[in-house]
Amino acid sequence: MDIGQIILSLPDIFISSVSQGLLWALLSIGVFITFRILDIADLTTEGTFPFGGAISAVAIVSGFSPFLSVLFAFVGGSLAGLVSGLLHTKLKIPALLAGIITMTGLYSITSRVMSNSPQVNLLGQKLFFSFLLKLGIEKVYAVIIGGILFTVIVTFLLIVFFKTEIGLAMRAVGDNLEMSAANGVNTDRMKIVGYMLSNGCIALSGALVAQNVGFSDLNSGVGTIVVGLASVIIAEVLFPNKPLAFRLFTVALGSIIYRFLLSIILEFPIQAQDVKLFSALILIICLTTPLIKEKLNSKA
């Protein structure tokens, strides 16, 4: 496809990016909780995302409501976060290694949930977006409506949570661990709660994505941490030094922008296996942009 055709297709690309970005926004918000609020690099993400999709898909196939299935996914993701949190806080395993251990174990658990199958097909099943489709709404717009609904509800609940005593204590732990401990905050407990919230949101995202594409995939978690980090960094580059409530919404916007950039790249004739490479390149550009801006400002 040439540049002219890509420009003409930008509106369609943007609408598609919004629909996909909103579903992945919950993953980015989950990554934001551990990476920015707790200052922890948590690789559990790559195991929790397909785990949430698997739980939701199996629940739907078993006859449960698609709405109830995403709740199951959130609980499953929270339990995965609990494991990583306990490994890190109680067994004193470094956060990065704790995430890798949980992620590795989740691969086998997810496979068991899916009855040792690499995919669970949801073709013909009643999904979350089905009731919107029955109203005559196109699939892409139904996904956008559903994505907005979930993103707004989850973001609002998180904003309320972070204004509570526990939420404020968690933010304090991320800002200054030693000072929080000196003031009587149970830092281990706050970290565990953060892990659980984060991975619950990530599993919820995995459940919604699985329902959107029509199947859960055992290997869908590969590279998801890059997606989450890129969305967070894009939001921070575009909207620096904002209040927490505003930052949570901008992370969702960062997810949409990331999807838009990736969709444009996919319009060019590249190999499917190169998508992860371009995802990594987008993250590198996002991470280095603040440094470049700082150097340009210092020279001005």
Residue 56 in this model has a pLDDT that exceeds 90? yes
Residue 151 in this model has a pLDDT that exceeds 60? yes
For residue 98, what are the CA distances in angstroms to 42, 95, 151? 8, 5, 28
Residue 148 in this model has a pLDDT that exceeds 80? yes
Percent of the chain past pLDDT 90, that is, above it, reads: 66
Q: Enumerate the β-bridge partners of residue 121.
A: 215
Return the CATH fold of 3-299.
ABC transporter involved in vitamin B12 uptake, BtuC (1.10.3470)
The tens digit of pLDDT for each residue in 221-243 reads 988 998 999 999 999 888 888 89
The tens digit of pLDDT for each residue in 183-228 reads 889 999 999 999 999 999 999 999 999 999 999 999 999 889 989 9
- Report which DSSP code applies to 272: G
CA 115, CA 194: separation in Å to the nearest integer? 30
The residue that leads in pLDDT, 44 or 284, is: 44
Q: Quick check: pTM over 0.85?
A: yes
User: Using 50, 70 and 90 to split pLDDT, how confident is the model at 300?
Assistant: low
Pairing type for strands 215-217 and 119-121 reads antiparallel
Residue 221 corresponds to which tokens in the numbers above?
Answer: 């978690």
The tens digit of pLDDT for each residue in 154-193 reads 999 999 999 999 999 999 999 999 999 998 899 999 999 9
Phi-psi region of 39 (alpha: psi -120 to 50; beta: other; left: phi over 0): left
Q: Which phi and psi (to 5°) does residue 273 adopt?
A: -70, -10
Is residue 266 a contact partner of residue 20, using CB atoms and an 8 Å limit? no
